[in-house]
C-alpha cells in the first residue's frame, strides 16, 4: 500500500485542474449528433443471465449530460428507468468512505484492479487483499457490508437514502429485477461466504448479499446517472439540489478508484479511449464523470463480451472529445 498523507497536509495554494463545459447550444448539438450516429447500431446482446434483464427492449437509448453548475441536457429515452446494477458500486463506496474514512476503506476493500472478470472467484484466491477493489463484485459486497446500520434493514435504508441524495430524488427498487436476481445470485452468495472465510466481509454473508442485490435493483434513468456523476464532479455537492452528499475528499478518492477499475478488465482501454472515470452496469447504463465539469449518463442495453454497453461506450467516447472532457487532452482535438 502506498504511503498515506493526511488530507489537511496540502500546499498553501492547492490548485485544481477543472474548467467549464461548452455552451448549452454546443452540448445540445453534440448530443443530437451522438444520438443520430449511434442510434442505428445494433451490435451486442442484452444480459440474459438475469431473466428480468433479458426481456428489455434492445432499442432503448437515452443520453443525459448534467453540469456541475446545474444545467441538464438530454436526448432519446433519457428519463426511462432501468436497474442501476453495478453502477451503484462507486456511490456505495463513497458512502462507506464517509462512514469509516477513505484510508480504512482502502485497507478493508483495496483500490487496485484485478485484471479479471467482475465476478471472478480466481481473483479472490490469487490476491492476499481478496476483495481487491470496490468495483468488482467481491469488493462491492464487502463495501455493502460496511454500510452503517444495526441490521440489514437499516443498512438498506441508508443505501437508498444515500443514492437518492446523489440522484437528487427518491429512488425505488424494481421488485421484478430484485426477485429475478435473488433467484439466480448463487455466485455472489458463494463470493460472500468465501470472503467471510478469509475475514474480508464485515456483516452476515447472506444478509450482505441480499442487501447488495437490492442495491443493484434500484431504478434510475440516464438523467439520474448524469446528476449522480455531476455530484462527484462537483466535490460531492449535488448541483441540482445543492446538498453536500459527500465531502470533496471522498469524491476525489471515489473517482480515483473509478479510473482504476470502473470497467473491470477493460478499464485500461476505456481510459485510453475516453480519458475519464466511468462505471458500467449490465442493464446497459454507463456513468462518466468529468471532474469540475459534470456527469454523463447513457443507457443502451446491448452489451459487448465484457458486459459494457456497446452504444454507451461509443457515445461516451464521442462526447468526451466533442465536449473537451478527456482529462489527458492538453489541447483541443481540432
Each of the 334 residues of the chain gets a pLDDT tens digit; together they read 555 555 555 566 655 566 788 999 999 999 999 999 999 999 999 998 888 888 899 999 999 999 999 999 999 999 999 999 999 999 999 999 999 999 999 999 988 776 556 665 555 555 666 557 888 889 999 999 999 999 999 999 999 999 999 999 999 999 999 999 999 888 899 989 988 988 889 999 999 999 999 999 999 999 999 999 999 999 999 999 999 999 999 999 999 999 988 887 788 899 999 999 999 999 999 999 999 999 999 999 999 988 899 999 999 999 999 999 999 887 666 5
Q: How far apart are the first and last CA of the chain?
A: 40
- Domain ranges across the chain: 24-322
Distance CA 251, CA 296 (A): 16
pLDDT at 197: 86
CATH number of the structural domain 24-322: 3.40.710.10
pLDDT at 48: 85
The pLDDT tens digits for 282-312 are: 999 999 999 999 999 999 999 998 889 999 9
Give the three cell numbers for residue 260: 482504476
pLDDT at 71: 97
**Residues known to be catalytic:** 86, 89, 212, 264, 282
pLDDT at 18: 66
The pLDDT tens digits for 173-191 are: 999 999 999 998 888 999 8
Neighbours of 270 (CB within 10 A): 25
Q: How many CA atoms lie within 13 A of 170 on its CB side?
A: 2
Amino acid at each position: 500500500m502506498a504511503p498515506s498523507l493526511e488530507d489537511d497536509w496540502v500546499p498553501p495554494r492547492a490548485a485544481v485542474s477543472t474548467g467549464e463545459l461548452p455552451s448549452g447550444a454546443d452540448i445540445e448539438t453534440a448530443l443530437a449528433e451522438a444520438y443520430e450516429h449511434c442510434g442505428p447500431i445494433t451490435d451486442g446482446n442484452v444480459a440474459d443471465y438475469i431473466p428480468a434483464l433479458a426481456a428489455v427492449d434492445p432499442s432503448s437509448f437515452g443520453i443525459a449530460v448534467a453540469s456541475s453548475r446545474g444545467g441538464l441536457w438530454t436526448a432519446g429515452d433519457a428519463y426511462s428507468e432501468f436497474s442501476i446494477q453495478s453502477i451503484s458500486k462507486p456511490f456505495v463506496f463513497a458512502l462507506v468512505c464517509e462512514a469509516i474514512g477513505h484510508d480504512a476503506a482502502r485497507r478493508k476493500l483495496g483500490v487496485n484492479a484485478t485484471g479479471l472478470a467482475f465476478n471472478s472467484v480466481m481473483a479472490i484466491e490469487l490476491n492476499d487483499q481478496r476483495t481487491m477493489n470496490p468495483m468488482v463484485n467481491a469488493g462491492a459486497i464487502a463495501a455493502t457490508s460496511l454500510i452503517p446500520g444495526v441490521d440489514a434493514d437499516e443498512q438498506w435504508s441508508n443505501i437508498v437514502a444515500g443514492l437518492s441524495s446523489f440522484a437528487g430524488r427518491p429512488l425505488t427498487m424494481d421488485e421484478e429485477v430484485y426477485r429475478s436476481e435473488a433467484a439466480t445470485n448463487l455466485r455472489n452468495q458463494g463470493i460472500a461466504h468465501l470472503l467471510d472465510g478469509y475475514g474480508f466481509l464485515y456483516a452476515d454473508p447472506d444478509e450482505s448479499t441480499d442487501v447488495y442485490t437490492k442495491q443493484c435493483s434500484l431504478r434510475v434513468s440516464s438523467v439520474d446517472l448524469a446528476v449522480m456523476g455531476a455530484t462527484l464532479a462537483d466535490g460531492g455537492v449535488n448541483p441540482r439540489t445543492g446538498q453536500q452528499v459527500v465531502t470533496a475528499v471522498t469524491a476525489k478518492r471515489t473517482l480515483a478508484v473509478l479510473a482504476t477499475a470502473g470497467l473491470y478488465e477493460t478499464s485500461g482501454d476505456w481510459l485510453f479511449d475516453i480519458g475519464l472515470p466511468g462505471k458500467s452496469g449490465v442493464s446497459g447504463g454507463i456513468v462518466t464523470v468529468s471532474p469540475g465539469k459534470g456527469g454523463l449518463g447513457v443507457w443502451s442495453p446491448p452489451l459487448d463480451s465484457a458486459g459494457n454497453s456497446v452504444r454507451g461506450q461509443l457515445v461516451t467516447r464521442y462526447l468526451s472529445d466533442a465536449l473537451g472532457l478527456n482529462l489527458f487532452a492538453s489541447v483541443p482535438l481540432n
